[in-house]
Copies of this chain bind each other. A is one copy, B any other.
Amino acid sequence: QTRYVIIGGVAGGMSAATRLRRLDENARITVFERGDHVSFANCGLPYYLGSVIEERSSLLLQTPASLASRFALDVRVGTEVIGIDSAAKTVRVRDLSTGRESTEGYDALVLSPGASPVRPPLPGGERMLTLRNIDDVDAAMAALAAAPRSALVIGAGFIGLEMVENLAHRGLDVTLVELDDQVLPPLDPEMAGPVAERLRAAGVSVRLGIQVVELGADTATLSDGSVVAADFVLAAIGVRPDTALAKAAGLTIGDRGGIAVDDQLRTSDPHIYAIGDAVEKTDAISGEQRLVALAGLANRHGRMVADVITGRSIRVRPALGTAVVGMMGLTIAATGWNEKVLAARGRNIRVIHTHPASHAGYYPGAESMALKLVVDADTDAILGAQGVGGNGVDKRIDVIATAMAGGITASELADLELAYAPQFSSAKDPVNMLGYVALNAAEGLTPSVQWHELDAARAAGATLIDVRTAGEYAEAAVPGSVNIPLDDIRARQAELPEGRLIVHCKVGQRGHTAVRLLAQLGRDAVNLDGGYLTWAAGTD
């Protein structure tokens, strides 16, 4: 009887186990899980804490019993694998309730141990909570049962923001502390700005570019000396691959700190495979190794590893890392790389910002969103996209991620046939519109400057022309800009100053028409990409 042993019984591990059973009814399949639960919804934990998910049992998708009866799996919870003897092809396991140890042989071993939350080393930090599994959520629930009034969340990444939302939802006064000078570091700052604004509008104290240095009994001291109320403290500053076992077994660990695997998910030992958060992935944009802690990849690679083990020919695709978070009515999603990282590497990129409505403006209920597309200026390949807004942000990012997977270029987004009826989109879907803007940039029809390039361009002598209406200009404008509404440009040509003109409107669209007009009037004109909204989001 072939023996498959799997370490870790959640996203990656259990997906491997169930698929293995569907492919091999005769094998002995054993899953070791050191926690008391398997197959739980990690991604639901913050919402259970916020009572959005009311029943703890909703988090538990399967149990050892249900997995035994359906898949004939031998699932051992409360059982830690404490060593791998790759020469003997055995694992050493310890029953955590009895302390009893035993040895189990394998023909193929799958590691899906996940990643542990990083705990910042802080004086007084013992009471700091983190969130990874059911025990963690039980501990956090117990802490919340003591009716804390204030909460401190350390780290403004995806899970940090989910925690802020849920703690605020419970009525706590929440402080969010982030070392970076923006929330959601995977986004570019002008995309993250409105997220911080939304948090502040909801009463969350958002402290950026600062660190927690010490925890008191019900307070926390920050690196600027300020003290904040912190009855409840949770850290969400990232995760570290759980590689202790792999290291001890002599498996190769990559430069990014994850278990190294090939495109068949095989580690440096031919009988040991690894998947999930513990493993380095090949990045789809750079081809480099990278850590991506996402449930979709863990599940998918879990299935794939079963296919490899049973002799099917598969090849893991490089990872884009598409992710989304919902927070206080905002949907925030991203795929691929952002501008700041690509710019830091000196890549020749083109950046596009738009602010479309989720659906046709003439149909009630449209919500606005900000979209950003980052494009390889040499090849027109899409390198990444970000979206922040209401309804439909997830749809647009999913479409772009799919386009990237299909090798569709930025300009070709213009041609996608996306479903349109007034409740769902516009005749030119926001994704199509990104394609149009990309086409205009690629063909040099409407050159643009970015919000962060504006000051330098003006210092070099360019004049900023605001082509919005006088009413819009009166409400709020970029200091020093000159207002000549788009519809007046032909008549008021004579008023245009000499030299380079940077035009802008609210979102970039009227600016585009203005640039086309000015260019044909013989002027050197560029569009402020994303218009006033992107500029304001970036500079606020």
Contacts and interface: CB of A to CB of B under 8 A. Distances in A.
Contacts of A22: 445, 512-513, 516-517
Contacts of A41: 360, 362, 422
Nearest to A54: B364
B436 A303 contact: yes
A320 B425 contact: no
B322 A417 contact: yes
Interface stretch (A108-116, A339-347, A395-403): A395-403
Contacts of A325: 421
A363 B513 contact: no
A298 B59 CA distance: 47
Contacts of A394: 395, 419, 424-425
A335 B300 contact: no
A426 B56 CA distance: 18
Contacts of A53: 362-364
A394 B431 CA distance: 14
Contact of A408 (B11, B398, B406, B487): B406
A402 B408 contact: yes
A421 B43 contact: yes
B419 A322 contact: yes
Contact of A424 (B23, B61, B324): B324
A417 B362 contact: no
A415 interface: yes
Contacts of A296: 417-418, 420, 427-429, 432
Nearest to A435: B300
Interface string A313-335: 00001011111111000010101
Contacts of A38: none
Interface in A287-306: 294-300, 303
A335 B420 CA distance: 11
Interface string A358-372: 001011100000000
A407 interface: yes
Interface residues on A, range: 35 or more
Interface in A423-443: 423-425, 427-429, 432, 436, 443
Nearest to A490: B72
A158 B394 CA distance: 25
A520 interface: yes
A47 interface: yes
A416 B405 CA distance: 7
Interface string A15-31: 00010011111100000
Contacts of A512: 22
A402 B406 contact: yes
Contacts of A52: 363-364
Given A53-B362, A296-B432, 11 more contacts: A22-B517, A23-B445, A44-B363, A70-B486, A296-B420, A321-B417, A324-B420, A397-B419, A398-B399, A398-B418, A405-B417
30 contacts: A22-B512, A23-B516, A25-B516, A25-B517, A41-B422, A43-B422, A44-B422, A47-B422, A53-B363, A53-B364, A58-B362, A294-B417, A296-B429, A300-B415, A312-B443, A326-B423, A333-B419, A394-B424, A395-B395, A397-B419, A401-B416, A401-B417, A401-B418, A402-B402, A402-B403, A402-B406, A402-B416, A405-B415, A406-B406, A407-B407
